[in-house]
Amino acid sequence: MQHLKLNRVRLLALVVVLTLALVPLATVSAQTHVFINEIHYDNSSTDVGEAIEIAGPVDTDLTGWSVVLYNGNGGAVYDTITLSGIIPDQQGGLGTLSFTPPGGSIQNGSPDGMALVAPGDVVVQFLSYEGTFTAVGGPADGLISTDIGVEEGSSTPVGDSLQLIGTGASYEDFSWSGPSASTFGAVNAGQTFDGGSGPDYTPIYEIQYTTDPTGDSPLAGQADVTTEGVVTARFQYGYFIEDPAGGDWNGLWVHDTDNLPAMGNRVRLTGTVIEYYELTELDALTDYQVVSSGNPLPAAAVLATGDVSQEQWESVLVRVENVTVSNEDLGYGEWSVNDGTGDVVIDDKGSYTYTPVNGEALAAVVGPLDYSYDVFKILPRDDNDIVLPIPPSALVVNEFLADPAGDLAGDANGDGERDSSDDEFVEIVNDSDDDIDVSGWTLSDAVSVRHTFPDGTIISARCAIVVFGGGTPTGAFGGVFVQTASSGRLELNNGGDTITLQRRLDGSGDGCLRL
């Protein structure tokens, strides 16, 4: 490592954090419970029997759902299938319903695709065949499709289709196969719906998901409801929990003044589901158990400010980015930000020191989404949830090693032991002529803070610091300053992650980067 090796990744101006996307990230979603299960779009001779099959839990009402068909040549919508009906119980607590497009045909690809859309224009899936593309217009506007990896063609026999196979209860449990003999309206050959007995509790999704325009839970008023989730935030009168997978419909407010769980605790709770001034919550607990502790928090759903105030995000950990303070004082400690798509309200129930100023740029605001006085509000938990800008080119993420494969030689931290966690590292270069005090700054992945720089950490001008995941770093490392992650590991995923360096809000010890 050289002090001035700055050719890897360079920061842009007007960002709050140093964020390095290891792979492109389109959306954040939980396990997909309602999903596209079978497709037929092309066959030999004249195309016949073209259809799309939807699978999901028994008794799911598809009223208000749709499949929007997209042309991969230009990305525009070319047809929309309006869904309806109740999913029957065919096997393992799941079933299927099949639909044909109003226009009678599904385009032959290279590529083309379809978006499964829930009520409220919520895109559940955006799949394509024979390649990927970006949607232009419609509910999936701006999203990049996911190629299912199998396709049909002019030699595909009449009566065949592309199908999911495998065993499970959600989309992620299966894989695409085919073409093979179609099974529209039934469980696919090679597929087993196995909810088993399911979890021995009611998932948060089943408490929250609703097609009722009022947003009321289908379980409102029901007592003795047991659920589980990871605590994502704690406030005066209770705490938010979320399914570990995160995503829409998977957060819940728990009104509980008797217990004080820590963030990262997985709790098992029994109580009554109520609507408290239209906020779905679990109340009147009759049982409270900490199942485990120290769990990673679900990744925050990254949303445009104009998309935050929707029922499916209630109580979910959300994040808005590249925003400007649009109103510094809405009263009662509330303020708002906007990324150009519409305002979202920020509340002061948490413990943060930031004071909003009209027109000030923020790179991100994070927190669970509350609902009170007829308004959705993001609740930053502490200073880490309000990310302030760093001037351009002061600090550079210059090099990193994420999740080194076990079959590769090498000992990055030089301690004599090859370890896929300890040998991970992030190198940060000070590309300025001034020393920078990063005491109290944090280094995070997409899930949580992994390292807090201790007091007295100064990155000298034109020099660097390397943070290893762990172990006992041994060697000169080009003369740079070396630390190990204060949490014990960096946890960089090789399947997609972010690296975020965040300054402390009070700016103390930092004459170079003070805003």
Q: Which of 125, 121, 141 lies closest to 65 in space, CA to CA? A: 121
- Mean local confidence (pLDDT), 97-115: 92
Q: Is the pLDDT of residue 515 over 80?
A: no
Q: Is the pLDDT of residue 350 over 70?
A: yes
Residue 12: band (very low, low, confident or very high) from pLDDT cuts 50, 70, 90 = very low
- Mean local confidence (pLDDT), 282-309: 93
Per-residue model confidence (pLDDT) at position 406: 63
Residue 431: band (very low, low, confident or very high) from pLDDT cuts 50, 70, 90 = confident
Please give the C-alpha separations between residue 443 and each of 182, 481, 487, 493, in angstroms, as whole numbers. Answer: 50, 15, 10, 15
Q: Is the pLDDT of residue 256 over 50?
A: yes
Per-residue model confidence (pLDDT) at position 390: 65
Backbone angles phi, psi at 285, to 5 degrees: -60, 135
Q: Which CATH class is domain 1-16+392-515?
A: mainly beta
Radius of gyration (Cα) for the chain, nearest Å? Answer: 25
Per-residue model confidence (pLDDT) at position 93: 85
pLDDT, greater one: 512 or 399: 399
Sheet strand arrangement including 77-82: 77-82, 66-71, 112-118, 122-129, 146-147
Per-residue model confidence (pLDDT) at position 118: 86
Indicate the fold that domain 301-387 takes in CATH: OB fold (Dihydrolipoamide Acetyltransferase, E2P) (2.40.50)
Q: 453-459: long-range contacts (C-beta < 8 A, 24 or more apart)?
A: 453/483, 454/483, 454/486, 457/481, 457/483, 459/395, 459/428, 459/429, 459/430, 459/435
Quote the Cα angle for 323-487-483, to 5°: 95
Q: Is the pLDDT of residue 98 over 50?
A: yes
pLDDT digits (tens, 9 = 90+) for 317-328: 999 999 999 999
Q: Which of 108, 102, 90 lies closest to 37 in space, CA to CA? A: 90
SS3 of residue 376 by DSSP: strand
pLDDT digits (tens, 9 = 90+) for 351-391: 999 999 999 999 999 999 999 999 999 999 999 999 988 66
Q: Which CATH class is domain 204-292?
A: mainly beta
Per mean pLDDT, which range of 50-54, 295-299, 386-390 is the poorest?
386-390
Supply the pTM of this predicted model: 0.52
pLDDT digits (tens, 9 = 90+) for 203-248: 999 999 988 889 999 999 999 999 999 999 999 999 999 998 888 9
Q: Is the pLDDT of residue 174 over 50?
A: yes
Q: Is the pLDDT of residue 511 over 60?
A: no
Work out the mean pLDDT of the chain and round it to a whole number: 87
Residue 162 one-letter amino acid: L
Highest mean pLDDT range out of 3-17, 25-39, 384-398? 384-398
Do the bridges between strand 279-292 and strand 251-255 make them parallel or antiparallel, or are there none, so unpaired?
A: parallel
Per-residue model confidence (pLDDT) at position 21: 33
pLDDT, greater one: 292 or 30: 292
Per-residue model confidence (pLDDT) at position 96: 96
